[in-house]
Chains A and B, each alone.
Chain A
Amino acid sequence: MSATTNLPTTPRGAELPPGVPLVLDATSVSVSFRGKGSRYNTVVDSVGLGLEQSQVTVLLGESGSGKTVFARSITGMAPRGARVAGAAVFSGQNLLELNGRELRKVQGNRIGMVPQDPNASLDPMRRVGGQIIETLMQHGKAASKTAAKARMLELLELVHIHEPERVAHCYPHEVSGGMRQRIAIAIAICCDPELIVADEPSSALDASVGVRVVQLLDDLRERLNTAILFITHDIGIAALIASKPNDRVAVMLGGRIVELGFAHQVLRNPKHPYTRALLAAEPSADVARGSLAVVPDEVRTQRNWGPLLEVEPGHAVASLIENPTDQKGGLA
Chain B
Amino acid sequence: MSTVLSAENVVKRYGSFTALHGVSFALEKGKTLGVVGESGSGKSTLGRIVMRLMTLDSGKVLLGDDDLFALSRADLRVARRRIQLVPQDPRHALNPAMTVKDNLFFQLRAQGIARSTWNAKAEELLGQVSLPADYLHAYPHELSGGQAQRVAIARAIANKPEVLVCDEAVSALDKSVQAQVLNTFAELQSSLGVAMFFISHDLAVVEHISDDVLVLNRGTAVESGKTRDVLSNPQDPYTRELLEARHSVSAL
Residues of A bordering B, CB below 8 Å: 62-63, 206-211, 233-237, 239-240, 242, 263-264, 267-268, 277-279, 281-285, 287, 289-295, 300
Q: Which of B89-97, B121-129, B131-139, B196-204 lies at the interface with chain A?
A: B196-204
Do A289 and B176 touch across chains, with their CB atoms under 8 A apart?
no
Shortest A107–chain B CB gap in Å is: 30
Do B187 and A284 touch across chains, with their CB atoms under 8 A apart?
no
Residue B2 interfacial (CB < 8 Å): no
Q: Which A residues are in CB contact (< 8 Å) with B65?
A: none
Q: Which of B130-159 contact A (CB under 8 A)?
A: none
Residue B72 interfacial (CB < 8 Å): no
For A264, the closest partner residue in chain B by CB is: B252
CA of A237 to CA of B175, assembled, Å: 13
Shortest B110–chain A CB gap in Å is: 29
CA of A11 to CA of B39, assembled, Å: 44
Do B245 and A283 touch across chains, with their CB atoms under 8 A apart?
no
CA of A234 to CA of B251, assembled, Å: 15
- The B interface, classified by DSSP as helix, strand, loop or mixed, is helix
Do B175 and A292 touch across chains, with their CB atoms under 8 A apart?
no
Q: Which A residues are in CB contact (< 8 Å) with B227?
A: 285
Q: Which of B19-27, B50-58, B74-82, B205-213 lies at the interface with chain A?
A: B205-213
Shortest B89–chain A CB gap in Å is: 13
Do B38 and A235 touch across chains, with their CB atoms under 8 A apart?
no
Q: Which of B5-13, B100-108, B111-119, B177-185 lies at the interface with chain A?
A: B177-185
Shortest A59–chain B CB gap in Å is: 15
Shortest B32–chain A CB gap in Å is: 8
A62-B174, A235-B249 known; A208 vs B179 contact (CB < 8 Å): no
For B238, the closest partner residue in chain A by CB is: A208
A285-B207, A289-B208, A289-B209 known; A240 vs B248 contact (CB < 8 Å): yes
Q: Which A residues are in CB contact (< 8 Å) with B178?
A: 281, 283
For A266, the closest partner residue in chain B by CB is: B252
Do B176 and A236 touch across chains, with their CB atoms under 8 A apart?
no
Number of interface residues of B (CB under 8 A): 35
Q: Could you list some 5 contacts between A and B, CB below 8 A?
A: A207-B201, A267-B252, A284-B207, A289-B208, A293-B179
A206-B39, A210-B245 known; A291 vs B183 contact (CB < 8 Å): yes
For A279, the closest partner residue in chain B by CB is: B249
Q: Which A residues are in CB contact (< 8 Å) with B204?
A: 236, 282-284
Shortest B186–chain A CB gap in Å is: 3
Contact of A239 among B183, B202, B248 (CB under 8 A): B248
Q: Which 3 A-B pairs have the closest CB atoms?
A: A290-B186, A295-B176, A283-B208
Q: Which B residues are in CB contact (< 8 Å) with A290?
A: 183, 186-187, 190
Do A235 and B175 touch across chains, with their CB atoms under 8 A apart?
yes
Q: Which A residues are in CB contact (< 8 Å) with B174?
A: 62-63, 233
Shortest B232–chain A CB gap in Å is: 9
Do B249 and A268 touch across chains, with their CB atoms under 8 A apart?
yes
CA of A235 to CA of B204, assembled, Å: 12
A284-B208, A289-B209 known; A295 vs B252 contact (CB < 8 Å): no
Shortest A14–chain B CB gap in Å is: 17
Task: Please encode chain B, from 203 to 228, with 1 for each CB lying within 8 Å of some chain A CB and 0 for all others.
Answer: 11101110000000000000000011
Q: Which A residues are in CB contact (< 8 Å) with B246?
A: 236
Do B249 and A236 touch across chains, with their CB atoms under 8 A apart?
yes
Q: Which A residues are in CB contact (< 8 Å) with B231?
A: 285
CA of A263 to CA of B249, assembled, Å: 9
Do A283 and B176 touch across chains, with their CB atoms under 8 A apart?
no
CA of A234 to CA of B175, assembled, Å: 8
Q: Which B residues are in CB contact (< 8 Å) with A295?
A: 175-176, 179
Do B38 and A208 touch across chains, with their CB atoms under 8 A apart?
yes
Do A236 and B175 touch across chains, with their CB atoms under 8 A apart?
no
Q: Which A residues are in CB contact (< 8 Å) with B38?
A: 206-209
Residue B242 interfacial (CB < 8 Å): yes
Do B183 and A294 touch across chains, with their CB atoms under 8 A apart?
yes
CA of A295 to CA of B174, assembled, Å: 11
Q: Which of B12-60 contact A (CB under 8 A)?
A: 38-39
For B40, the closest partner residue in chain A by CB is: A206
CA of A264 to CA of B247, assembled, Å: 14
Contact of A268 among B179, B207, B228, B252 (CB under 8 A): B252
Do A211 and B244 touch across chains, with their CB atoms under 8 A apart?
yes
Shortest A202–chain B CB gap in Å is: 10
